Amino acid sequence: MTPIAASAETGQPLAADAPFFIVMNAGSGRQQADATRVVLERELGAARRRFELRVVDDPRRLREVARDAAAAARAQQGVLVGAGGDGTLCTVAHAALDANCPFAVLPRGTFNYFSRDHGIPADPEQSTRLLLDARAYPVQVGFVNGRMFLVNASLGLYPRLLEDREIYKRQFGRSRLVALWSALSTMLKPHRHLRLHIDHEGSTQELRSSTLFVGNNRLQMEQIGMPNEARALEQGLLVAIAPRPVGRLLHLWLSLHGAAGRLSDSEHVASFTFTHITVTHPSRKRRLIKIATDGEIAKLQMPLEFRVSEKPLLLLKPEPAVAEANRS
């Protein structure tokens, strides 16, 4: 049993007067930020708990603001809170991990895989009230090179899907339907297959695929129909998934299979679990390559090292039985 799994049943209580330092990405609009402030003042104010809301208007400053808030949380024995979607939460969580302070979540995204997987309610009032009596539990996070991810990391076609999705969102708004339509459109476009070398447990294998997807979220694994891989995450492992080289129509069929929760039934998908792998590209050994981590795109230099973090993130969430009942 891993150290995280061994201590996952008992959370750490917080001081009754621990302050909250909340970092919110205002990318979804000022109206949502103002509504969040009203809820915080009502729920935390009624409990006489001190909080500080830092709204980030420029996404380029999110990392800096998160680090400053994390330093304040550590100095005052408080909690760093991220308010936003999975990408925002990952950036703020990374600051909490570096500062060794507890982390909490106010979900404000479209899919909210991280918060849903840990049983944190999407309702603003409920997630805010949870801050007052939740314990801090250790949860697993992953890294690719120096970049952390809570939900997943990928290279190849998947980052392209995310880039196209952002274009569609700017044109048609943020919704799951828009995200689905964008994905279908991208899947029907021509795409190249990567030729990757993967060093895993002392051996090297060659993998040809349109994308390499590394998952760290039970809910997402279960939804695409890979329950065995979902259970592996609870054992301190990450999951690598790669579709075998196929044409565009079959690739689309695989995506629809995943959307229907039946991806594990397909013989056209390779998967394995690991704690650490190194990925190289024979023709791009030292070049930059696009990586998506929790919906955010970055360019990282080959080789890529995917690994489970040795240090867990301390997350405020419901007790395990309640969290499991809340997952959806």
Residues 6 or more apart whose Cβ sits within 8 Å of residue 110 = 85, 174, 175, 176, 179
Answer for the pair 244, 269: CB distance below 8 angstroms, yes or no. yes
**Token pair for residue 176?**
């799951």
Per-residue pLDDT of the chain (328 residues; tens, 9 = 90+): 454 544 556 789 999 999 999 999 986 557 888 899 999 999 999 999 999 999 999 989 999 999 999 999 999 999 999 999 999 999 999 999 999 999 999 999 888 999 999 999 999 999 999 999 999 999 999 999 999 999 999 998 777 777 666 665 666 666 667 666 566 666 556 567 788 999 998 899 998 888 899 999 999 999 888 899 999 999 999 999 988 765 554 444 445 434 444 455 556 788 999 999 999 987 766 688 999 999 899 999 999 999 999 999 999 999 988 888 777 6
- What is the per-residue DSSP string for 140-209? --EEETTEEESSEEEEEHHHHHHHHHHHHHHHH-S-HHHHHHHHHHHHTS--PPEEEEEEETTEEEEEEE
Place of tokens 């990374």: 94
One-letter identity of residue 312: P
**How far is it, in rounded angstroms, from Cα 104 to Cα 131?**
7
Q: What is the pLDDT of residue 316?
A: 98
* Average pLDDT score, the chain: 85
- Of 238, 324, 257, nearest to 9 by C-alpha is 324
Q: pLDDT per residue over 185-210, tens digit each?
A: 665 565 677 889 999 988 999 988 88
Walk me through the domains of the chain, giving residue ranges and CATH numbers.
3-140+311-326 (3.40.50.10330), 147-308 (2.60.200.40)
Q: What is the pLDDT of residue 165?
A: 63
Q: What is the pLDDT of residue 49?
A: 96
| List of E strands, 174-268 | 194-200, 203-209, 211-215, 238-243
One-letter identity of residue 15: A
Q: pLDDT per residue over 38-59, tens digit each?
A: 999 999 999 999 999 999 999 8
Q: What is the pLDDT of residue 210?
A: 83
Q: What is the pLDDT of residue 263?
A: 55
**Token pair for residue 95?**
């600051």
Q: What is the pLDDT of residue 254?
A: 45
- Ordered alpha helix ranges (H), 28-156: 30-46, 62-75, 86-99, 113-117, 124-133
Answer for the pair 155, 304: CB distance below 8 angstroms, yes or no. yes
Answer for the pair 70, 40: CB distance below 8 angstroms, yes or no. no
Q: pLDDT per residue over 262-280, tens digit each?
A: 455 556 788 999 999 999 9
Place of tokens 């899947």: 187
**How far is it, in rounded angstroms, from Cα 121 to Cα 119?**
6
